[in-house]
Amino acid sequence: MNHIDVHSLAGKAKFNGFHGLVLFWCVLMLILDGYDLAVVGAALPSIMKDMGVDATRAGVMAGSALFGMMFGAIFFGTLADRFGRPVMICVCVALFSLFTAAAGLTHDPITFSVMRFIAGLGIGGVLPIATAQMAEFSPNALRTRLVTVVFAGYSIGGILVALTAKQLIESYGWQSVFLVAGLGVLPIPFIMKSMPQSMAFLSKNGRHDELRTLVKRLVPDYPLNGHEQFAGSSADSNKDAPVRRLFQDGRGFSTTMIWAAFMTGLFMVYALSSWLTKLMAMAGYSLGSALNFVIVFNVGAIAGAVLGGWLSDKVNIKRVLIAFYVVGAVALTAMGYTKSTELLFVVVFVVGASTLGTQLLAYAYAGDFYPPAIRSTGVGFASGVGRIGAIVAPVLIGWIVSLKLPLEQNFMAISLAGILGAFAVMLINQARAESSRTQRTTVAVAPAGELG
């Protein structure tokens, strides 16, 4: 009987319309996800005025989604490996779309914060599932590039908020930008119909007919006779708790270092997303100029993610990630010393590429590190534990700003996280990564020339 390793088969496939469909849905979900996360930052001044809350209370309201994201990333990533990704993806999209819209109907800080916490569960849950989904179906030669293109959608969502919020809020009030988020539920029936199930999930549950259909979509000219048996990696059939397996096969220390890298990366991202406007104001820039800096920051993040993905498919992704963390630390330090407005836009672009862009690359790296059967769990826990950095960042930088230190020292405080992140990635044992194991194992899954 012919036994086919589906993951090896997928890795050697050529990019086709099936891959394009998975890419489309994952990018769209991340655009919606990015919009829902960024919308509070754009509306916060109006919310503070409308609800009569001070900056401290407003910070808690804005941060409530971050707490939800921490739990959502951990639990939905794990549930996706257990119950299937399409269902969990749709649950997450429904949560963040409906409850972000519901936040626009609230009139007090507590109800608003509760709605945002629940929305945060979905926002955080989509990230690891989309990463795992794109990584599993991507051809080996394009994997990192495709995953980072998916995460570029996250920044596109942030840009959409920056471009539309001013007009919507001035014309219809801050509630309007939240209500628009409710439109995110519209694609759910189409996602359920066309998003493929994880190969690891199908293999583990013995659903070979569905796997056979999936193989014909992945590699249309692959010869099938209807009697094949499909196998994933040996890990796919392992029924042990996925969380425990993050620390098995010598992955324990590296898993901890991946978590540390995520914490420092998310610290930089959320320190900037929370305080970039204020720090620019401290440097003498108007709110309108600050909005332009936010757009440049997000455009830089897209460029950084795409460049990082391209480099990672050419060079070892670990080395690229270390380099990006270091560039981020240097660029952040330079922000405090750059006096020319034109040059500052360039520096902010580089900062976006090497902070948010680096974090998007870190998701791709985590997806590359773990075996398919625990990929959602691995990326989910890294994203969830990393949220500690996201939660600490606004509070810690706010405290540093309150000390009225020279502007340069505020940026240097954020840049320190980049150095720590680079050090954490250096300590990861790349030999334990799934991609390294795959390269060492050659499995004959098709006649020569079948896959191209």
**Using CA atoms, how far apart are residues 149 and 449, in angstroms rounded to an integer?**
29
pLDDT score, position 449: 33
pLDDT digit string (tens) for 382-400? 888 888 898 888 777 777 7
Which one is predicted more confidently, 240 or 432?
432
DSSP symbol at 232: -
**Using CA atoms, how far apart are residues 34 and 339, in angstroms rounded to an integer?**
31
pLDDT digit string (tens) for 400-428? 777 777 778 888 888 899 999 999 999 99
Mean pLDDT of 175-184: 90
Mean pLDDT of 266-289: 73
Instruction: List the CATH code of the domain at 3-439.
Output: 1.20.1250.20
The ranges assigned to domains in the chain are 3-439
Q: What global pTM score does this model have?
A: 0.75
In a 13 Å sphere around the CA of 169, the CA atoms on its Cβ side amount to: 20
Q: Which of 245, 209, 246 is nearest to 230 (CA)?
A: 209
**Using CA atoms, how far apart are residues 387 and 125, in angstroms rounded to an integer?**
12
Provide the percentage of residues in the chain whose pLDDT is more than 70.
87
pLDDT digit string (tens) for 111-162? 999 999 999 999 988 888 888 888 888 887 787 788 878 878 888 888 888 7
**Using CA atoms, how far apart are residues 35 and 158, in angstroms rounded to an integer?**
5
**Using CA atoms, how far apart are residues 301 and 289, in angstroms rounded to an integer?**
18
**Using CA atoms, how far apart are residues 356 and 373, in angstroms rounded to an integer?**
27
